[in-house]
């Protein structure tokens, strides 16, 4: 029996009212498209094209350069304008292929060829997923073909489709489940071919009744497929939170989902798997929400990977008359990244542009006080960490304690601690910076050690 919720968590305003009933519509980009070679966790892809080359939609333009890496395909036809560093939503400059879109979207040979997945073996299915360049589309961007090849494949009990979509304002997964429920059910059956001992579970929060009804209809009559409605609580979409609810296991720090007999994939990822295996369509487009309290026409779009974020805000009508935008976010207000410039491409793991009339971080900075020792941050942490002690260690730069004693690198940066802090301390922001600094030191030490061996 599945649980209804997990330990910890918070209840922010979900902001779903702005775009939840906006039906999907396709958006075809007008300008150049930018394809960063790093749209995933792991080693960047290797560019396969050069300036002046003609490319087709669905053509491989970046080849995975290692086991933990992912292919990059063009989502348009046109001419390569440049292969150069371009800035992404993260703020980093990444080697990218820039394509001048010809507006024709001429498909490469073989794209769209239908196949019966029941006639394919495990290796053929995994090969199709790998070739398509599919990564985790809920935000993490982990190459899916790697996730689907755990060492203990026979011990996997649950394939969990993450349809929680707990991040405020974002509604593209809700629309996906409402409109593509049959395809999602087939995508789950494809995954169950890889893990025959498992059952497939679609976890959806209760604030999406239409999606729940659609998925229940699509799964009806298949005893290996289940739909579970969980309570609305953030961050229900985190892997550890989902595994608590479905498998009833508290994933220990350092453990992977496969160690608990689970594989967790976002519903958008499962739809991409269906497209790749059954339709021979690589990852070229995705669902994307443009929302926020100052957006004129909040919407859910099907966008081509590589589309400029400024373009999608324009197609949403821009900013409402008489309003001003103070905060632009790639993602939502809890885990999203602030954007200083909208001239960045939509990547595989970007699911939303959220525009707010007030900057909550700037407001909190004006109200910040010393820690009150109230313990609220510890009570809401879904991992059971101690944000109060982590903050102290981070401020004192006691990085060994932060990592080894307080398990600070396990933090998923959900922002729950920051949300409830009455002292308005920038806990999550500090933890992200601290993790980045620790990891940079580790990489430098490894590089130095490698150089010494040579």
Domain 30-101 shares a fold with domain 113-279:
no
Mean pLDDT of 369-374: 95
- At residue 31 the predicted structure's pLDDT band, cuts being 50, 70 and 90, is confident
> Residue 348: what pLDDT?
96
Task: For the chain, give every domain's residue range.
Answer: 30-101, 113-279, 363-453
**Tokens 């313990």, residue located:** 375
DSSP string, 93-146: EEEEEEEEE-S--PBPTTTT----GGG--HHHHHHHHHHTT-B-TTTT--BHHH
Judged against a pLDDT cut of 60, whether residue 375 lies above it is answered with: yes
pLDDT reported for residue 381: 96
Q: Which residues are annotated as a binding site for [4Fe-4S] cluster?
A: 371, 374, 377, 381, 411, 414, 417, 421
Residues placed in the known binding site = 371, 374, 377, 381, 411, 414, 417, 421
Per residue in 70-126, pLDDT (tens digit) is: 999 999 999 999 999 999 998 889 999 999 999 999 999 999 999 999 999 999 999
| pLDDT at residue 443 greater than cutoff 90 | no
CATH class of 113-279: alpha beta
**pLDDT for 452:** 62
Q: What's the pLDDT tens digit per position in 260-315? A: 999 999 999 999 999 999 999 999 999 999 999 999 999 999 999 999 999 999 99
Question: What is the per-residue pLDDT for 453?
Answer: 61
Residue 199 backbone class (left: φ over 0; alpha: ψ -120 to 50; beta: rest): beta
Lowest-pLDDT range of 152-161, 252-261, 366-375: 252-261
Long-range contacts of range 405-411, CB-CB < 8 Å, 24 or more positions apart? 407/253, 408/434, 408/435, 409/435, 409/438, 409/439, 410/253, 410/254, 410/383, 410/385, 411/383, 411/385, 411/435
pLDDT computed for residue 192 by the predictor: 97
SS3 label, residue 185: helix
Tokens found for residue 105: 């979207």
Query: pLDDT grade, residue 451 (50/70/90)?
Result: low
Q: Which residues contact 327 (CB under 8 A, 6 or more apart)?
A: 338, 354, 355, 356, 358, 359, 360, 361
As a CATH number, domain 30-101 is 2.40.50
Using a pLDDT cut of 70, give the percent of the chain over it.
Answer: 99
Report the pLDDT value the prediction gives residue 38, as an integer from 0 to 100. 95
User: Which of the four pLDDT bands, split at 50, 70 and 90, describes residue 140?
Assistant: confident
Average pLDDT (135-160) is 92
| Predicted confidence (pLDDT) at residue 454 exceeds the cutoff of 60 | no
- 45-49, 63-67, 344-348: least confidently modelled range: 63-67
Give the model's pLDDT for residue 449.
75
């Amino acid at each position: 029996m599945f649980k209804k919720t997990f330990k910890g968590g918070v209840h922010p305003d979900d902001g779903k009212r702005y775009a939840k009933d906006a039906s999907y519509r396709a958006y075809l980009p007008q300008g150049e498209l930018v394809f960063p070679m790093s749209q995933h966790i792991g080693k960047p892809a290797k560019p396969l094209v050069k300036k002046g080359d003609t490319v087709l939609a669905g053509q491989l333009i970046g080849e995975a350069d290692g086991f933990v890496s992912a292919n990059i395909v063009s989502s348009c036809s046109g001419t390569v304008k440049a292969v150069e560093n371009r800035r992404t939503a993260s703020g980093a400059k990444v080697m990218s292929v820039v394509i001048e879109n010809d507006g024709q979207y001429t498909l490469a040979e073989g794209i769209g060829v239908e196949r019966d997945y029941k006639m394919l073996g495990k290796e053929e299915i995994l090969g199709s997923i790998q070739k398509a360049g599919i990564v985790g589309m809920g935000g993490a961007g982990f190459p899916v073909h790697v996730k689907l090849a755990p060492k203990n494949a026979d011990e996997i009990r649950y394939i969990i489709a993450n349809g929680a979509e707990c991040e405020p304002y974002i509604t593209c997964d809700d629309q996906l489940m409402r409109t593509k429920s049959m395809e999602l059910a087939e995508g789950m059956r494809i995954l169950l071919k890889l893990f025959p001992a498992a059952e497939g579970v679609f976890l959806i929060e209760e604030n999406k009744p239409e999606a729940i009804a659609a998925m229940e209809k699509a799964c009806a009559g298949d005893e290996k497929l289940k739909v579970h409605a969980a309570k609305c609580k953030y961050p229900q979409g985190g892997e550890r939170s989902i595994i608590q609810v479905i498998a009833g296991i508290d994933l220990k720090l350092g453990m992977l989902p496969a160690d608990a007999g689970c594989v967790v994939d976002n519903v958008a990822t499962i739809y991409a798997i269906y497209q790749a295996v059954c339709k021979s369509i690589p990852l070229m487009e995705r669902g994307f929400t443009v929302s926020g309290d100052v957006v004129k026409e909040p919407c859910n779009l099907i966008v081509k990977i590589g589309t400029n974020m400024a373009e999608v805000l324009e197609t949403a009508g821009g900013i409402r008359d008489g309003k001003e935008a103070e905060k632009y976010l790639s993602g939502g207000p809890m885990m999203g990244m602030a954007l200083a410039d909208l001239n960045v491409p939509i990547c595989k793991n970007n699911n939303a542009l959220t525009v707010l009339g007030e900057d909550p971080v700037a407001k909190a900075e004006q109200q910040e006080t010393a820690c009150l020792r109230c313990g609220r941050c510890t009570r809401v942490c879904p991992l059971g960490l101690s944000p109060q002690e982590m903050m102290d260690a981070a401020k004192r730069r006691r990085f060994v304690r932060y990592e080894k004693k307080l398990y600070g690198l396990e933090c998923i940066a959900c922002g729950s601690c920051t949300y409830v802090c009455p002292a308005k301390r920038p806990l999550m922001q500090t933890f992200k910076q601290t993790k980045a600094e620790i990891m940079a030191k580790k990489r430098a030490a490894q590089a130095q050690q490698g150089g010494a061996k040579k």
